[in-house]
Structure 1
């Protein structure tokens, strides 16, 4: 893992660190206790303040400054102890890609020599309050460590939360240099595992761009992919196999998982047809 606002892998102005791992970035939180509402509207509880540890860390100047100020409790010292960086993953070949919606920000608490090598540190940070990424995201990232997945439907074993994470990892690793298939191409959507809208986004990504492919992870992103160079030039034909699975699961109502109106099969078909795509439900 690499924390950065600029590193050799991620050119920019202020490199923060290259790390072997970031402990606390991927964590499954226990379910929150249900609270009795006291009114019609209620603010959600604040997420916990996590401690994040940069493991086997080679700090760059901004982080070195924060580490040097770790025992300063003055306002100026607290400002110097602040760090903020996006996070990316480094693959086996040394290439790196920025992760979507992954960041470390907070106040440096301490640093100790790391057991991973001479000159490396383990740096503990009191992170800003935010929801950590699910622990299972790490396993999804590992599938891209030596290249993209080569088999279809590896996402199907995951629950809704990790299917969403899968689509985010696919977005981060998408092949920007690959040309669009021309208008009129016929694509096949497997459909057997579209038991939720997150599964649909994983499935359509692979239908258009192969195993580990991306073609949207929400309605707006799907619309964008149909309008730009994301693997398929509209209009095209989409054969949606086993569509009865989606018909049974993607139904109208309130989606408690997303805390929003449910996305139905008909809604998805309407998005495609608005771009001239011929969807055949099989």
Structure 2
């Protein structure tokens, strides 16, 4: 990777001054949508190979980086990033045609805006469209859309979902969740046993968590 026209600010200069044996460092990559909003953050480890005066002139530097390692965004993310590049999705179920891996990538993008969801609201009714909840990532995509709207964040997996229920993510209990077509998830996750001692599936565990936080769950 060649970066053209880097400003030689002190954090960069400190890296360039280090001995070669310590020259491997992490770089924060930010993917922006067409409005300039950060839609994804990713840290990757890179090595500075060369740093030369920039072709752009002035005090700027051109820097060559190599050795990013294996921790890179999946190629599955590309079409999803292209969708989000146009802006945060405004309609529901845009994630529905994706594979489970693609849905996980979708959830990663929702997490970028988790701090923008405003103060908590409690009470009221929320409708979850269970038509496409055929896997665990799909469950969390649908749950986030039900509680935080299209493109919203409400956890990417079990632990994060439970954290969201404690508050701070736009919706706090008590409230009523009406889960439409709940049998789709019940059947699709029938073999996904989450609590081995009690024999509970992931679907059943999510319902119990909601109820334990004071959420009224209506399965339809």
Same fold (TM over 0.5): yes
1:189 match:
128
Aligned to 2:64: 123
Tell me the CA shift for residue 110 of structure 1: 4.7
Answer yes or no: is the 8 Å Cα contact 2:96–2:138 preserved in 1: yes
Partners of 1:267 and 1:147 lie apart in 2 by 33
Residue aligned with 1:156, SS: coil
SS where residue 216 of structure 1 aligns?
coil
Alignment check: 8 A CA contact 1:78 1:107 kept: no
| Inter-partner Cα distance in structure 1 for 2:208 and 2:107 | 21
Where structure 2 has 5 or more consecutive residues not aligned to the other structure, the ranges are none
Q: Deviations over 1:91-142 (max 9, x none)?
A: 333343662xx2121322357999xx84684723112x44322112233233
- Counterpart of 1:271 (choices 191, 209, 219) is 209
The one-character-per-residue Cα deviations of 1:222-275 (angstroms, maximum 9, x if unpaired) are 1111111212120111111111110111124579xxxxx995211110110111
Please give the root-mean-square deviation of Cα atoms over the aligned residues, in Å: 3.0
Residues 239 and 131 of structure 1, relative CA distance in 2, 3 Å threshold: same
**Which structure has more helix as a fraction of its residues?**
2
1:140 matched residue in structure 2: 80
Contact 1:109 1:126 in 2 (8 A): no
Q: Which ranges of structure 1 fall in alignment gaps of 5 or more residues?
A: 1-52, 70-75, 256-260
Deviations 1:50-86 (A, max 9, x none): xxx25556354454676788xxxxxx2232x323222
User: Is residue 153–residue 203 contact of structure 1 (8 Å, CA) maintained in 2?
Assistant: yes
Hey, what does 1:249 align to over in structure 2?
Answer: 188
Output aligned runs, 1:48-197, within 5 Å. 53-54=1-2, 58=6, 60-61=8-9, 62-63=11-12, 76-79=19-22, 81-96=23-38, 99=41, 102-110=42-50, 118=56, 121=62, 123-127=64-68, 129-174=69-114, 176-183=116-123, 185-197=124-136
Quick one: structure 1 residues 271 and 86, their matched pair in 2 at CA, closer, same or farther if it must change by over 3 Å?
A: same
Does 2:153 correspond to 1:210?
Answer: no
Q: Aligned residues, how many? A: 212
Q: TM-score, normalised by structure 1?
A: 0.65
Is the 8 Å Cα contact of residues 49 and 63 (structure 2) preserved in structure 1? no
For residues 157 and 226 of structure 1, the distance between their equivalents in structure 2, rounded to whole angstroms, comes to 27
Distance 1:85 1:265, change over 3 A: same
Return the TM-score normalized by structure 2: 0.81
Give the 3 Å change call, closer, same or farther, for CA 253–98 of structure 1 in structure 2: closer
